Amino acid sequence: MLENYPYCPTLHARVAEIKALGQLPAATKDRIFPVIVARPWPNAKHLVRTWEKIAEAIGNRRFALDLDATKRNAGGDRPACAEFDDLFLSRNGFANYYDAVSDIAEAIPVLRIQGGEAPQLDVQAAHIDNLDRGVVVRIEHDAVRDPISLVDQVLARFADVSFFIDTGWSRDLIRHEMWASAIVERVSREHPETELVISGSSFPSSFVNINNRGVISVEERHLYNNLVRRHNAASLIYGDWGSTRPPSTEQIPMRNVPRIDLPTSNQWITFRRDKDLEDNEDYTDIAQRVIDDSEWPANLNIWGTYTISWTASGEPGAIRSPATAAAARINIHLHQQAFFGANNVVIDGDEPFTDD
């Protein structure tokens, strides 16, 4: 299922992530197989708007469709919220969810897991067999009660299956290595051909200790490399959360300190408002520092780098909010990881971009 994809990110269907995905060059999208964790689209009346936004972003390429549990039972009077909640109902092996997947030609189902296990596995399997698209099993750290038992059940029932081993969010992802390693060992022992995506996120939750410039390592790469060395016969694929953090379940006001992040292959370079300057910097000033930096990829012609350049020169499409800054970062990160280690990369910089 994933043999032609060097990069398998997990992306939540939030505005910044979907925009970042949609603005990637076609050649980059062709190298990505994402799990998209769906939620109702902001202010949309019906849930179908989420499916439309995903389709606009990814085109006719395949992706796995998961659901954002943090948005379940969120309330609100929009029909989209009730339609979304219905997808979590376990009745008839989560029939509502599998019906929704059936209506989206490019979507691959993600095995439904509730309470740490896969309920009604035989009924779910019947839905998956009828779809005949294969299945993704996303095993999340601290969310699956007995991952080894789940792996055994899945391998006994499905032939066309890919596992996403999601180590969760932490600045110290390496401490989850042994948890992930046990799953890889169990799968690869008898099924070395089965694809396993190693995923997670180490993107920081705070930047208060960074003044005008800081360098942050992409711990996801270190975790993946360690597991590749430990399990050299397993079919491992790199994944992450696209340089994002988990969705917030609390409405906590945050102080907006202008910041622009520049992803490279194995680190994030973050440029923050310089508090030592007499005149506080705005996004234009920070963007100028980014493009003057020795790490600026002058030959990388994609939407994220263009957006930073537009910001420095005060052109339309400039960064004026944290949301646009995040979209630019995610766009660059996705591209860098999709082409990690690739040589002779040629990207058509004349593809159209939108400023919506």
Contact 263, 243 (CB under 8 A): yes
- Give the pLDDT mean for 278-302: 92
Domain residue spans of the chain: 10-206+217-238, 259-338
Does an H or E element contain 325, and which?
A: helix 322-338
Q: Is 16's pLDDT higher than 50?
A: yes
Give the pLDDT score at 353: 46
Q: How far apart are CA 71 and CA 40, in angstroms?
A: 8
In the three-class reduction of DSSP (H, G, I as helix; E, B as strand; rest coil), residue 126 is classed as helix
Structure tokens at 86: 């219905």
pLDDT tens-digit readout, 213-256:
999 999 999 999 999 999 999 999 999 999 999 887 655 555 67
| Interatomic CA distance for residues 249 and 263, integer angstroms | 26
Contact 79, 46 (CB under 8 A): yes
Give yes or no for residue 54 having a pLDDT over 50.
Answer: yes
**Band of the pLDDT at 184, cuts 50, 70, 90?**
very high
The DSSP 8-state label assigned to residue 59 in this structure reads T
pLDDT class of 78 with cuts at 50, 70, 90 = very high
Q: What is the mean pLDDT of the chain?
A: 93
How is 163-231 classified by DSSP, letter by letter? EEEEEEE-TTGGGGHHHHHHHHHHHHHH-TTSEEEEEEE---S--TT--SEEEEE-HHHHHHHHHHHH-
DSSP 64-123: EEEE-GGGTT---S-HHHHHHHHTT--HHHHHHHHHHHHTSTTEEEB---BTTB-TTHHH
Residue 255: how many other CB atoms lie within 10 Å:
5
Tokens of 273: 């408002």
pLDDT band at 3; cut points 50, 70, 90: confident
Q: Which of the two residues, 348 and 316, has the higher pLDDT score?
A: 316
User: Residue 161: enclosing H or E segment and its boundaries?
Assistant: strand 161-169
Fold of the domain built from segment(s) 10-206+217-238: TIM Barrel (3.20.20)
What band does 280 get if pLDDT is binned at 50, 70 and 90?
confident
